[in-house]
Amino acid sequence: MTKHTQLNAEIRTVLGNSVRKLRNQGILPAVIYSKDLGSISLQLNYLQFLKAFKEAGTSHVVDLLIDSKKYPCLVHDLDIHPVTGKLRHVDFLSVNLKNKVTATVELKFIGESPAVKEFGAVLATPLQEIEVEALPDNLPSEIEINLANLVTLDDVIRVSDLPAASDYVIMTSPEEVIATLVYQSEEKEEEEVAPVEEVAAVDTNTNI
């Protein structure tokens, strides 16, 4: 049986703007969404959640312990302050371990593209995560992408290039680009710089 990360939680009665007081006390406001129970407002120990999230991420089951009852769930959404970067709120999604769910899985880039060294190409990774469908306990923590497969400037790694897995199904469009190479010749750079210099000269003459 898969071992789940466990996290204690309490029913939260403080709502609205008053939750700021909780945050000042090291308490993290949260909500768990369930098809059977609707939404339940919770509060967690801030540091304990960070530790649990480091272990589970968004694709491993967390057992929320509320009033001696266990609720298997996934971390569904994080609200992070845009300036301080501090976590302000977390949403959990209650799951049935016997029913498949769709979750976001992080892509882990490994290796090095030979084309980067040989041709001076720049690596572009427009896709950092993909969606997969699986039973909650079969969700992968991450999926590795080997950049060594980018040998020439024309090589591209798409979702369709990922190997099939028996435990989960990839839901992201197979045509989505995961990694590619961008190469800009010196001649092209000079062509792009020239018009800028001409515009600068025109502006200078206008101000005289």
Spatial distance between the Cα atoms of 5 and 106, rounded to a whole number of angstroms = 19
CB of 43 closer than 8 Å to CB of 72:
no
Q: Which pLDDT score is estimated for 102?
A: 93
Is the pLDDT at 163 greater than 80? The verdict is yes
> Comparing 48-52, 103-107, 138-142, 192-196, which segment has the lowest mean pLDDT?
192-196
CA distances in angstroms from 84 to 46, 66, 80, 88, 136, listed in the order given: 15, 30, 8, 10, 32
Fold of 103-187: RNA Polymerase Alpha Subunit; Chain A, domain 2 (2.170.120)
Spatial distance between the Cα atoms of 178 and 161, rounded to a whole number of angstroms = 9
Same topology between domain 5-95 and domain 103-187: no
Q: Which pLDDT score is estimated for 34?
A: 87
**Each residue's pLDDT tens digit, 11-31:** 999 888 888 899 999 999 999
Spatial distance between the Cα atoms of 112 and 101, rounded to a whole number of angstroms = 33
Q: Which pLDDT score is estimated for 184?
A: 63
Q: Where are the domains of the chain?
A: 5-95, 103-187
Asked whether the whole model's pTM tops 0.85, one would answer: no
CATH superfamily of 5-95: Ribosomal Protein L25; Chain P (2.40.240.10)
**Each residue's pLDDT tens digit, 104-151:** 999 999 999 999 988 888 999 999 999 999 999 999 999 999 999 999
Of all residues in the chain, what percent carry a pLDDT higher than 90? 71
Mean local confidence (pLDDT), 52-79 = 93
Q: Which pLDDT score is estimated for 208?
A: 32
